[in-house]
Amino acid sequence: MASKTGNGPGIRLAADIGGTFTDIAAFDPSDGRLVFGKTLSTPDKLIEGIVDGVDKAGTAFPEANLFLHGSTVAINTMLERTGAKTALLITEGFRDIYEIGRVNRPDAYNLFFQKHQPLVERALRFEVSERLYAEGAIHKSLDEDSVRQTCALLREEGVEAVAILLLHCYANPAHELRVREIVEEELPDAFVSTSHELSQEYREFERCSTVVANAYIGPKVESYIAGIDDRIQEDGFDGSFLVVQSTGGLYDGDQAKRQCVRMLESGPAAGVIGTRALCDAIGLENAIAFDMGGTTAKAGVIHNGEALTTGSALIGGYERALPVQIAMMDIFEVGTGGGSVARIADEGGLRVGPQSAGAQPGPACYGQGGDIPTVTDANVYLGRLSPDRFLGGEMPLEVDAAGTAIDNKVAGPLGMDTADAAQGILRVAVTAMSHAVKAVTTERGLNAGDFAMVAYGGAGPLHACNIAREMGIRDVFIPHSPGHFSAFGMLFSDLRYDYVRSRFTRLADMDFSAIEKVYRELETEGIAEIENVSAVPERIVVSRAADMRYVGQEHSVTVDLAADLFANEDRAGIKERFDAVHDLRYGTCAPQERSEIVSLRVTVTGMLAKPDLQRIKQGNEAPSPDAHTGVRQVRFGDERLATDTWDRSRLVSGNKIAGPALVEEHASTTVLHPGDGLTVDDYGNLKISIGSDAS
């Protein structure tokens, strides 16, 4: 792995690979120059998309000293079930916990309900003769001979990856470590993952699911990261290669090879980090980060100036999801993007997504052989996307092909006008995307109407105003270069390591010295990890939190805790913080009830130097005449309206535009509906006030 420090002179490169496009952001600290590149993703060899994007950005790897990368390869491998042939080694008597799970049945009346499908079939789950007590003492010693016999079976089966989950290993990892040593001796070519390296929390099903996911995606991600590293070094890069984690923090590429599961949501998390940077610049406390790309739409939250995170997530939707017990950005995702396919379902209704046309063949309007209508085709047909200016004119779009696809697959079967069908596709898509916003606000005890929306991704600005209108959001911000915003957000990421250790204790009985010792151990581990990374931070920041619940409850909430609460042994202050967080999340709290700590959390952050957001030139309310690029007929609601089109690159601070209007730029188009008003702020963001008119 390249090892030159990442804070010296040289360009900082960031690459975000999505299902449809690969985005590049490059920042030159010597002159503050920020440039972008965008190219179609290359599914057969993803590195080629990165190389093409860097070339389009007008820069090169030898000029860079820091390369930051986020990718969907990890989560796509898991969701598409294209990972390695994996075996699970688990404590004797617990072979089936991975399949039994939590026995959730969220839709009790759905006759077609299907529970989660494990990534490892039962025939490849093997029991290990050993057992620990909950506090970590040995109840039954490890039978090493049986492990070697199991390895012989794994070799015969051609297993490529091995996940190891032994009960209570978070309290004592000795048995897991020894099993790992034996497996690596017997199967030197296999990818081996142990649960205690990923999670030191209780809940054996969640830890099992996490380690299996890591092993399942491990060989593919390891090969992918190694391939990128080799290629960029061949192209002259000798700086630091860092990967974005699901928290939005960065970790070394070598660590990403071993702990692949930590990068499941790397791209979306970077977008939330970029949103936080934007909020800091304009003084916005609360914002919804909304990202719509070619394949999916994602939403996260900035609350009181901080990006909200969670200690676990369900990957694949609640009904059939597999849990992953790691720290990650609190993001909700729906399968609706620009390339999402519109189709008639078996029951006769219109459905949009989660299937996607991807980069190849892509939407019908791309002219690459696709004949199935997508959200992008609907936007082109309704006049919201210019067929001549898409990607700055580099990629002409075919309106007739879009109309033919919509007519053949949707309008014809439903007996509708083609334009009405296209409008219907957008309405269904907006409703689906609104669910993502609700999931990170309303379902977290937050009122979406109290937040502004920051919309980005190539398709985000096209739909942001409609989603905001549906959710009661009054203000929408479209950042500079929204089509590259996740890559841009990576430039504001820091080195970050999150640790958690289960420690059950009643608050009233808590031994502060014992808790302090655990916190110190975790903090020391995190600082050591940061010091081992090639990029040198400006400073290291440590924060503490605890998972707490009322005595008798099953589930907990995470409470941020200031250091002085421990220094002063302030039980009342801790309880007050917990009650407030519980009240925010559930709308109720019980100050008179006893509480307890379940797990201790530490975040260690190595703060890297970041680019300054650049202010733009001031101007008048009326945009310059040369910013006006024409008038186009655009469908809003049930009618087509003459709609002004504007070149965003020619707008300056203070310019105002009234809807209906289209503001076009290289990788995106912002749609203002009738009644909406737009003002360009000092940083070039488009601030849109949502009107009351329906559209």
Question: Do 671 and 462 touch, CB atoms closer than 8 A?
Answer: yes
Instruction: Give pLDDT tens digits for 484-511.
Output: 888 889 999 999 999 999 989 999 999 9
Distance CA 557, CA 583 (A): 10
Residue 570 has pLDDT above 50, yes or no: yes
Distance CA 310, CA 603 (A): 12
**String of DSSP letters for 235-277:** TT--SEEEEE-TTS-EEEHHHHHH-GGGGTTHHHHHHHHHHHH
Lowest mean pLDDT among 260-269, 347-356, 637-646: 347-356
What pLDDT was estimated at residue 3? 42
Lowest mean pLDDT among 309-313, 396-400, 579-583: 309-313
621 phi and psi angles, rounded to 5 deg: -65, -40
- Residue predicted with more confidence, 360 or 83: 83
Residue 4 has pLDDT above 60, yes or no: no
173 phi and psi angles, rounded to 5 deg: -85, 5
Q: Structure pTM? A: 0.85
Burial 519-542, CB ≥16 within 10 A → b, else e: beebbeebeebbeebbbbbeebeb
**Size (the chain), residues:** 695
Confidence of residue 320 (pLDDT cuts 50, 70, 90): low
Residue 2 has pLDDT above 50, yes or no: no
Residues contacting 514, CB < 8 A, separation 6+? none
Distance CA 69, CA 655 (A): 35
Going by the DSSP 8-state scheme, the letter that residue 409 receives in this structure is I
Confidence of residue 646 (pLDDT cuts 50, 70, 90): very high
CATH class of 82-217: alpha beta
CATH T-level assignment (fold) for domain 11-78+222-263: Nucleotidyltransferase; domain 5 (3.30.420)
What pLDDT was estimated at residue 185? 96
Q: How many CA atoms lie within 13 A of 65 on its CB side?
A: 15
Residue 1 has pLDDT above 50, yes or no: no
Domain borders along the chain are: 11-78+222-263, 82-217, 495-607, 625-689
Distance CA 510, CA 504 (A): 9
Distance CA 369, CA 626 (A): 37
Residues contacting 381, CB < 8 A, separation 6+? 399, 402, 403, 406, 418, 419, 422
Instruction: Give pLDDT tens digits for 432-451.
Output: 899 889 888 888 888 899 99
Instruction: Provide the total of helices (H) and of strands (E) in the chain, helices listed first.
Output: 18, 35
Residue 396 has pLDDT above 90, yes or no: no
Task: Provide, rounded to the nearest whole percent, the portion of the chain with pLDDT above 70.
Answer: 95
Residue 91 has pLDDT above 70, yes or no: yes
Residue 105 has pLDDT above 70, yes or no: no
What pLDDT was estimated at residue 79? 76
Question: Do 655 and 620 touch, CB atoms closer than 8 A?
Answer: yes
Cβ atoms < 10 Å from Cβ of 417: 11
What pLDDT was estimated at residue 315? 76
- Residue predicted with more confidence, 474 or 609: 474
- Per the structure block, which two tokens stand in for 603? 């975040």
Q: How many CA atoms lie within 13 A of 640 on its CB side?
A: 11
Residue 693 has pLDDT above 90, yes or no: no
- Only one residue has tokens 């008048």, namely 620
What pLDDT was estimated at residue 266? 85
**String of DSSP letters for 144-182:** HHHHHHHHHHHHHHT--EEEEE-TTTTT--HHHHHHHHH
3-state secondary structure of 606: strand
Residue 258 has pLDDT above 60, yes or no: yes
Confidence of residue 543 (pLDDT cuts 50, 70, 90): very high
Return the closest-CA partner of residue 474 out of 689, 671, 660, 693.
689
Instruction: Give pLDDT tens digits for 24-48.
Output: 888 887 777 788 888 877 777 788 8
Q: How many CA atoms lie within 13 A of 256 on its CB side?
A: 35
Instruction: Give pLDDT tens digits for 135-190.
Output: 889 999 999 999 999 999 999 999 999 999 999 998 899 999 999 999 999 999 99
Distance CA 107, CA 111 (A): 9
Task: Provide, rounded to the nearest whole percent, the portion of the chain with pLDDT above 90.
Answer: 54
What pLDDT was estimated at residue 309? 85
What pLDDT was estimated at residue 104? 67
Residue 250 has pLDDT above 70, yes or no: yes
Q: 81 in the Ramachandran plot: left (φ > 0), alpha (ψ -120 to 50) or beta?
A: left
Average pLDDT over residues 102-120: 73
Return the closest-CA partner of residue 492 out of 206, 250, 132.
250
CATH ID of 495-607, from 1.10.3470, 3.40.50, 2.60.40, 3.30.1490: 3.30.1490
